[in-house]
């Protein structure tokens, strides 16, 4: 009898685990991006951005970022300096940007 009860409990746990929606319950990593829009690709809804170091995530580089929200994507202009939030899903390294806003030209330090 105990074996049957244990099997039923195990089956319940497995079923609950399989039915869980992994896409909405996972915590996303969030980072701040400051950079310049180099190119936009409307067909893929991506922006190529040359950015400084993203603290806690990556060094300065130029790379493509997906923009899921059409209104955010519409804000992007080549040559514009922006700030945005990078969202990254740890389980599969998927990432995208949102909360895009123009930031003006980055500050430059005067030569000594």
pLDDT of residue 105: 64
Q: Examine residue 35 and state whether it is found in any structural domain, yes or no.
A: yes
**Which CATH number does the domain housing residue 54 bear?**
2.40.50.320
Residue 72 tokens read as 């955010």
Q: Examine residue 9 and state whether it is found in any structural domain, yes or no.
A: no
Cross-strand bridge partners of residue 51: 35, 61
Q: Examine residue 48 and state whether it is found in any structural domain, yes or no.
A: yes
Q: CA-to-CA distance for 99 and 85, rounded, in angstroms?
A: 6
pLDDT of residue 112: 44
Count how many domains the chain has. 1
Domain hosting residue 57, numbered range: 28-102
- Tens of pLDDT, residues 2-25: 555 444 444 433 434 443 344 457
- Tens of pLDDT, residues 49-103: 999 999 999 999 999 999 999 999 999 999 999 999 999 999 998 999 999 999 8
In 10 A of CB 99, how many CB atoms?
14
Q: Examine residue 20 and state whether it is found in any structural domain, yes or no.
A: no
Q: Examine residue 112 and state whether it is found in any structural domain, yes or no.
A: no
Q: What is the maximum alpha-carbon separation in the chain?
A: 83
Tokens 């603290």: give the residue.
55
Q: Going by C-beta distance under 8 Å and a sequence separation of 6 or more, which residues neighbour residue 50? A: 35, 36, 38, 61, 62
pLDDT of residue 26: 82
Q: Examine residue 65 and state whether it is found in any structural domain, yes or no.
A: yes
pLDDT of residue 104: 77
pLDDT of residue 43: 97
Q: Examine residue 70 and state whether it is found in any structural domain, yes or no.
A: yes
Q: Which run of H or E residues covers position 65?
A: strand 61-66
pLDDT of residue 47: 98
Q: Examine residue 13 and state whether it is found in any structural domain, yes or no.
A: no
Tokens 């005067």: give the residue.
110
């Amino acid at each position: 009898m105990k074996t049957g009860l244990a099997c039923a409990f195990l089956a319940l746990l497995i079923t609950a685990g399989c039915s869980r929606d992994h896409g909405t319950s996972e915590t996303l990593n969030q980072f701040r991006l400051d950079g310049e829009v180099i190119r936009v690709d409307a067909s893929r809804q991506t922006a190529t951005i040359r950015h400084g170091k993203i603290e806690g995530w990556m060094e300065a580089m130029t790379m493509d970022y997906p923009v899921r929200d059409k209104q955010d994507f519409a804000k992007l202009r080549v040559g514009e300096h922006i700030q945005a939030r990078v969202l990254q899903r740890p389980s599969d390294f998927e990432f995208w940007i949102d909360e895009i806003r123009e930031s003006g030209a980055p500050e430059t330090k005067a030569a000594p």
